[in-house]
Copies of this chain bind each other. A is one copy, B any other.
Amino acid sequence: MFKDKDFLLIDYTEKVKDSGEVIDTTNEEEAKKEGIYREDKTYGPTLIILGQGDVVKGLEEALYNAEVGAEKTIEVPPEKAYGTRDPTKIKIVSLSELKRQGINPYPNMVLRLNEGGLATVKSVSGGRVILDLNHPLADKTIIYNFKVEKLIESQEDKVKAILGKWFKKSGEKIGVDMSTEKKVKLTMPKELLLVENIQLLKYVAAKDIVKFVLPEHAVLYEEEFDSSILK
């Protein structure tokens, strides 16, 4: 039994019940086997902070009642997964408008709308395109196979898990020093010093650390530019 704000490292595979299609997995081999492997994704156990909606409601509920090391399979109904289909969420747009956005629609294509959200193309005819704005997984029962690999308990390990979440593999190379009162000192590795959007990642990581691990602390980043990078 876990509680709100617990830090869990979980492995999972997510599958559509009726088709058997694997949508997502933390297992690299499985991703390759199913043809959904992505270079930019980090495989292996992923951090879930309970109560934050990091995963769909049905899986989160099951996680509260899980235990470390036990593999479980659950069926999550649409209401607790990606929602039920709303038949009124249909929109007709002009083909020329989509083409202007660089989109060449065809039936069953899933596209990302400029105004946010996903849409599925239902049909294209007579210059008109019918879009279904329901989530592509609406009305689907989802099967999760998951295992809580670890409950992270120490503050330092929680900080490191947050750094891994935001900085991926480089997060492991960030030095963590909690010896100063009310301050956590993070020493950034060289490989992160010249990353373009690093400032935003530093902000969100610091925010998570203060929110979930060390309230009333400040997060101090140290970045040393030496001759090896000042070329």
Contacts and interface: CB of A to CB of B under 8 A. Distances in A.
B199 A203 contact: no
B225 A206 contact: yes
Interface string A187-231: 000000111101100110011001000001011111111110110
B230 A224 contact: no
A56 B149 CA distance: 65
Nearest to A211: B230
Nearest to A225: B206
10 contacts: A193-B199, A194-B199, A198-B199, A202-B223, A202-B225, A206-B225, A207-B225, A210-B230, A218-B226, A220-B225
Contacts of A183: 224
Contacts of A216: 227
Nearest to A192: B199
Query: Looking at chain A, what size class is its interface with the partner chain?
Result: 20 to 34
Contact of A199 (B196, B210, B219, B220): B196
A223 B206 CA distance: 11
Contacts of A218: 224-227
A183 B223 CA distance: 12
A224 B223 CA distance: 11
Q: Which 4 A-B pairs give the minimum distances between C-beta atoms?
A: A218-B226, A206-B225, A219-B225, A221-B223
A225 B206 CA distance: 7
Contacts of A203: 193-194, 225, 229-230
Given A199-B198, A207-B230, A223 B225 contact: no
